[in-house]
Every structure is written in C-alpha cells, then in structure tokens.
Structure 1
Amino acid sequence: MAAKEIAVGSSSFSGGDPCPICLGPILQESYLDTCFHKFCFRCIKQWIKVVSSKVSKPLSSVKCPLCFLADVFDVPRFWKLKKLLQRNRWLESWLRRELQALMQEEDVDIVLHHLVGVMDSFCKRTEQRHKQETRSAEAFQEQFKSVIAEAGRPFLMARTDRFVDELELFLASGLNMEAYDAVYKQRLDWNNSREVGVSNEAIEEENRRTRATPNLFLFEEDSV
C-alpha cells in the first residue's frame, strides 16, 4: 500500500468529509492506491510509519485504517489466530457496563471478577495445551463460549447466551467501548434499513453523515 499526494501545500484542503484519522479538514489530500480512501498526507504517512514499525513489516504491507474497520467483526479470524490470548485493555470496563445493564444492579464486582477469573484461567490452560496439542478454531471457540456461559448463567439466566455472543463480538472487534458501540450501531442501522427497503443511496448518505471514526486497538497481525 502506498500513499499518493494529490494536493500541494500545507494550507490546501478538500471541502468534503474530514480526515478519518485526525477528524479535521483534509490537508494535502492524499489517497491510497489500493482502495482510494482519502486522508491528510501527514496523517496517513504517520499511520503507515507507526503500524509498520509495530508489526515489523514493510510499508507496502500496511492495511488502510478504513479497510481495517470493514473486518472488525471477523469472528472466524479471531478464533483462528487465537487472539483471545492477547490482552484486551477495555474488557473489564465493557463487562461492567453490560453486567450492570443486564442485572439491573450497580454493584456487579463479584460477578465481574468471577467472569474475568474464568477467562484468565481458560486462557492459561489454552496456552499450556497449545504447546502439546492442536485444536481447531471451532473447538476453541465452542469451548470458550461454553465455559463463559456456565460461569455466567447463575447470574444472567435467560440472558446468558445473548451476553456470550455479545462478548465474542466485542473481543473479536479489538475496539474500545466507544468505537465498538459506534460501529455496532452503524451496522445495525444499515441492516434495519435494508430490511425495510431503503435505497442504497439513502443508506450510503446516512452512513457518510454519521460515520464514526473509532479509536483502534491493533492486534499484532491486524494491520498487515
């Protein structure tokens, strides 16, 4: 992937959408020659530099940040690459919010720490077994969801399966809470619009007007 500068001069900017990275007017309008998404030249140049250094890959292999978002709910890839074993810094905050909403209680610390402990134990056992045996991604996924459902059912009861599915989506996305909510809502609105027969043009216009630019949390393999 390469960034190609179009406009010249630091004061030049386009009158359309803001830069997806800095959210300001696009200065020195630039696009990527693989997907033609537009950014500030300095913004996309810095993005490529930071990501390529993070994953130790050549600049040409870095994925566009907007194209990256198209795959945020790639659940099969999440399990195939065993990304569950990588720490998610926003997990406890997300769990607290979801548990408070589902249980209709403010103090959910006991349940929260119980679920986090179950997940930590599962990950540690998985890391140990990974050196000795090979399990399919499907088996890994099924076992995790079964363990979490068993741990959460005494507290969540009929809402348990929905909670486990939501947890899986959040972990697979790799996004922070605000970004996850924005992308999830955007996709939900898009699906609802398709169901009631709204035209593609209207959907695209609404997505353009309300497009969210999430704060990305990059897994090691995600940017290549």
Structure 2
Amino acid sequence: MSAKEIAVGSSSINGGDPCPICLGPILQESYLDTCFHKFCFRCIKQWIKVVSSKVTKQLSSVKCPLCKTDNISIIHNFDGHSFDRHYVDPNTTDGFVLTKEQRYRLQCYYTESGLLADVFDVSRFWKLKNLLQPNKWLESWLRRELQALMQEEDVDIVLHHLAGVLDSFCKRTEQRHKQETRSTETFQEQFKSVMAEAARPFLTARTDRFVDELELFLASGINRDAYDAVYKQRLDKNNSREISVANEAIEEEEENRRTRVPPSLLLLFEEDSD
C-alpha cells in the first residue's frame, strides 16, 4: 500500500479528531506502523499491554483496535527528521544488519576514489565498447552494493530500476552506433550521467562514487569474488588509520539508521500536516 493510500485511509482520524481509545484530545501523537491509525501514545501502548496479558506467548504483533490490521510497533516522537519505535515484542531488533562482506564494501566507499584505476584498463573498456556486452555477474554485484549503501535487505526495486536503465542505455547506444559515430569520451560521459540520474534518488551523496565503482567493476571483466580479492589486496595496503576512521563512520551510520525515517513515512507525515 502506498503512503498516499495509507494517508487517505487514516483521514477519518486526522484533523483534530479525538483518540479512538480514550475519546479525548490526542496526546503524544503516535501511529501504528502498518495501518497508520493515530492514537495517544499512552493509550495505544496500554492497549498492547492489555492484549498481551491475555495470551501466554509473547506477541510479535497486535491488531489495530480500529481496522484489525497486524502491526509490530508504534511510531512516536516524530520531529520531521527521525522517530522512535515502541515494539510489541521488546526483543525485536530494528532493521538490517550488515554482513561482513557488505561492511567491507561500505568501507570501500570511505577510501579515495580510483583505488584500482591502475589495475583495470577503463579507457580500453570504453574504446572497445565492452559495455554493450552482457555481464552475467553484474546483478550479483549491484545487489550487494545497494544493500551495503542503503543498508536494506530488500533492494529489488532499485536493482531492477538501475538494471533497466543500463539496458535501455545500451540498446539506444547500439542503435545510434549504426547511424552516427560518437567519441569514447562522449560515450563514457553519457553512461555516467544516465546512471547517476537513475541512482541519485536512492543513493544521494554517494551516487557519483557508486557510478565510479560501477564503471570500475564493469571494466574489470571479472566476477564479484575475483574483483573483491583484488580490491581487498589493495585496501590492505592502505593506511590503517583511514580504515579505522571508515569503520567508525560505518558504526555511526548503523546507529543513525535505527531512527531514520523511510521516504514513504516522510511523505505521509507531510500529507498529514496539510
């Protein structure tokens, strides 16, 4: 369900309507995380406590008292940039944990760009127009990169979007190649521009570096494991202090992600404020 659809579905309890539980003004505005019905934080928290007391097993979700939709948490303390979550099951952990491999790749984005520029012949890759050749390892590499950068497990939508953009670019290039001659530099610049535009809404400040890494992986002509081995060998020779700083930054990212507002939730709150 889209954020807009959720907002419409909850419109009956917005705009100053009372809390559906206590029937008084809503204090400490809070929302259930799936249906997004709004309650006093204290009221819905007490509701969950009462429902949980009636069963012997710890609940992982609770049905909304209005629509009976299952929800796993209460969203509260929203300030426009972050929010807190109170889980039905207090043992629930919030979100995606980076694997060792994903953490290593995220670390790479804290090093200087061009770390492997002298290893893989990028200029030859563009001169031979190897981009137009299928790369059977690209999807696996893209998935891992997106999971590391977005710190999300499910990146299928973004993955298919980027793969589709790249495929369309290659098809257009093949057609134009029969009609006109373009320089290697123009071909390369257009690739970077198209991919950056497609990735920027999802990767924001890391977009340009991601496109550089994508270009490097494609130019390498090797599979993901072999590429990683080359990268790790070079990374190990780098300054250990730089790697330590990168690890600290990654830990801070993981902590901040716990209270990061998903774009759909931001959109919903913006619509509610109108």
Q: TM-score, normalised by structure 1?
A: 0.53
Q: What is the correspondence of 1:1-224 to structure 2 with a 5 Å cutoff?
A: 73-190=120-237, 192=239
* Aligned structure 1 segments of 4 or more residues deviating by more than 2 angstroms: 187-193
Deviation by residue 1:154-212 (Cα, 9 ceiling, x = unmatched)? 0000110111010000000011010000011222334549xxxxxxxxxxxxxxxxxxx
Deviation of the 1:135 alpha carbon: 0.8
Runs of 5+ consecutive residues of structure 2 not aligned to the other structure: 1-116, 241-274
Please give the alpha-carbon distance, in whole angstroms, between the structure 2 residues aligned to 1:138 and 1:190: 31
- 3-state DSSP class of the match of 1:131? helix
> Does the 8 Å contact 1:74/1:172 carry over to 2?
yes
Deviation by residue 1:45-104 (Cα, 9 ceiling, x = unmatched)? xxxxxxxxxxxxxxxxxxxxxxxxx98511000001000000000000000000000001
Please give the alpha-carbon distance, in whole angstroms, between the structure 1 residues aligned to 2:172 and 2:201: 23
**RMSD of aligned C-alpha atoms?**
1.9
Deviation by residue 1:91-119 (Cα, 9 ceiling, x = unmatched)? 00000000000001000000000000000
Please give the alpha-carbon distance, in whole angstroms, between the structure 2 residues aligned to 1:113 and 1:87: 15
Please give the alpha-carbon distance, in whole angstroms, between the structure 2 residues aligned to 1:133 and 1:155: 33
Computing the radius of gyration from Cα coordinates, the structure with the larger value is 2
Please give the alpha-carbon distance, in whole angstroms, between the structure 2 residues aligned to 1:171 and 1:134: 22
> Does the 8 Å contact 1:72/1:172 carry over to 2?
no
Please give the alpha-carbon distance, in whole angstroms, between the structure 1 residues aligned to 2:234 and 2:220: 13
Letter in 2 for 1:182: A
> Does the 8 Å contact 1:72/1:174 carry over to 2?
no
Runs of 5+ consecutive residues of structure 1 not aligned to the other structure: 1-69, 194-224
State the percentage of identical aligned residues: 88
Please give the alpha-carbon distance, in whole angstroms, between the structure 2 residues aligned to 1:122 and 1:84: 10
- 3-state DSSP class of the match of 2:179? coil
Letter in 1 for 2:130: K
Please give the alpha-carbon distance, in whole angstroms, between the structure 2 residues aligned to 1:188 and 1:136: 33
Please give the alpha-carbon distance, in whole angstroms, between the structure 2 residues aligned to 1:189 and 1:135: 39
